[in-house]
Amino acid sequence: MIVLPQISPTPLSVFFPRPDSIPPPLTVARVFGSWTVDPWVLVPLLAAGVAYVAGVRALKRKGIEWRRGRTVLWFVGLGTIALSTGSVVGVYDNALFSMSAVQHMMLQMIAPAPLGLAAPVTLALRAMSGRPRKILLGVVHSRYVRVVSHPLVAYLFFVISPFVLIYSPLFQLSITNDWVHELVHLHFVLVGALLYWPLLGVDPLPNPMPWVMRLLLVIGLGPAHIVLGIPIMLRDSLIASDYFTRVAAAWGTDALADQKVGGGLLWIFGDVVVLFLLAGMFVQWNRSEKREQRRVDRHLDRRYGAAATTTPWWLTDDPRAPRSMPNFVEDTTPGPPTADTTVADSGASGPAAGEAARPQSSPAAPASSELLDQSLTSSTPSISPEEHHS
């Protein structure tokens, strides 16, 4: 380790060699051989994994099956957080701006996606009962959660957070203070989870949003990363210059070149993740439509049973054959007198005039409304709700 004596130690330096020291210069061998253990990250990750497995077992005791794929996704998300803080990314996050950029992208954009697809809130609601379940429901539907999880609010938090961190003194503070460093990690995971919660739509939502709006928000993440990354690539001065100048002096490297690489990673990394998000959301959209279709089918089955259905006419009739219209008979039943008949009656006298003004009717001809009902009954097949399955 290379000591930087100018940086004052922090309370957590008793447990961590960072930030008063940095690792040796990065090489190809150290990319795969540099690892560290951060208890402040590892312990919560282990607790989250144990809690999820306990929830799955609780459902199994109730006779409810839980998808294995969701369990796998949960541990993929936890593993992503562990890699971002314990691998070479975590070892060099306080020495290279590029590694810090990769770490923030992993925590904010990658890890929350599988965590959200694992449906942890749904699992907890199904596994819990009684008062704990009511408390969780109260939290999910509370006014505070409803506000911060609103898609537009979550989107703003997601987009603004990297700008606030990088373009303020908070960035240097986060790499020179262990407490702030860990809180920034937690912040990025939570901000990503808040956005992916309504976007993915797997868990119950206090603010449901149409799929079209979700896709538009994801598409809007692309320009945000362009605006974030390109100015850093074009910048001629160092971010957190006091700190990275000392690191470059200790290593004998070009910190500005590494910063430009970090800006490019923020741009490209973000846009690539957006493409994967769009693909995943299209899959989720398709699954959502299929679930809704199955729900309607179950409802119709419960209501009408499994009786045989009538084949719709559009499956039996030749679409090229002309369909004959019902032969309606003109209604000649006398109705109330109109202005024309009144004038006619006033211009004639005697019974002959009255007979001339009154239209002749056929006593055997039924009313047109009856014929309309009969023709529709005989010519149009009955389409029952069971034909939803056809």
Is 285 within the bounds of a domain?
Answer: yes
Query: Would residue 319 count as lying in a domain?
Result: no
For 193-228, write each residue's pLDDT tens digit: 999 988 887 888 887 788 888 888 888 888 998 999
**What is the span of the domain harbouring residue 207?**
2-304
Selected residue with higher pLDDT from 43 and 351: 43
Mean pLDDT within 6-24: 53
Question: Is the full-model pTM beyond 0.75?
Answer: no
Q: Is residue 340 part of a domain?
A: no
128 domain-assigned:
yes
Flag the least confident range among 115-124, 191-200, 315-324, 374-383: 374-383
Query: For position 156, what pLDDT does the model report?
Result: 94
- 377 inside domain: no
CA gyration radius for the chain? 36
* Backbone angle region of 324, left / alpha / beta, with phi > 0 → left and psi within -120 to 50 → alpha: beta
Domain assignment present for 45: yes
Domains in the chain: how many in total? 1
Classify residue 170 by burial, with Cβ atoms within 10 Å: 0-12, 13-18, 19+: middle
* 32 located within any domain: yes
Residue 312 pLDDT? 62
Cα 27 to Cα 35: distance, rounded to the nearest angstrom: 14
Using left for φ > 0, alpha for ψ between -120 and 50, and beta otherwise, residue 63 falls in left
Greatest distance between any 2 Cα atoms in the chain: 127
> In this predicted model, which residue has the larger pLDDT, 83 or 250?
83
pLDDT tens across 254-295, in order? 999 999 999 999 999 888 888 888 887 888 788 878 888 888
User: What is the mean pLDDT of the segment spanning 123-142?
Assistant: 91
3-state SS of the chain? CEECCCCCCCHHHHCCCCCCEECCCCCHHHHHHCCCCCHHHHHHHHHHHHHHHHHHHHHHHCCCCCCHHHHHHHHHHHHHHHHHHHCHHHHCCCCCHHHHHHHHHHHHHHCHHHHHHCCHHHHHHHHCCCHHHHHHHHHHCCHHHHHHCCHHHHHHHHHHHHHHHHCCCHHHHHHHCHHHHHHHHHHHHHHHHHHHHHHHCCCCCCCCCCHHHHHHHHHHHHHHHHHHHHHHHHCCCCCCHHHHHHHHHHHCCCHHHHHHHHHHHHHHHHHHHHHHHHHHHHHHHHHHHHHHHHHHHHHHHHHHCCCCCCCCHHHHCCCCCCCCCCCCCCCCCCCCCCHHHHHHHHHCCHHHHHHHHCCCCCCCCCCHHHHHHHHHHHHCCCCCHHHHHC
- pLDDT score recorded for residue 283: 81
Q: What percent of the chain has pLDDT over 70?
A: 72
Structural domain includes residue 202 = yes
Condensed to tens digits (0 to 9), the pLDDT of residues 157-184 reads 999 999 999 999 999 999 888 889 999 9
Token duo for residue 155 = 């989107």
Mean pLDDT rounded to a whole number for the chain: 79
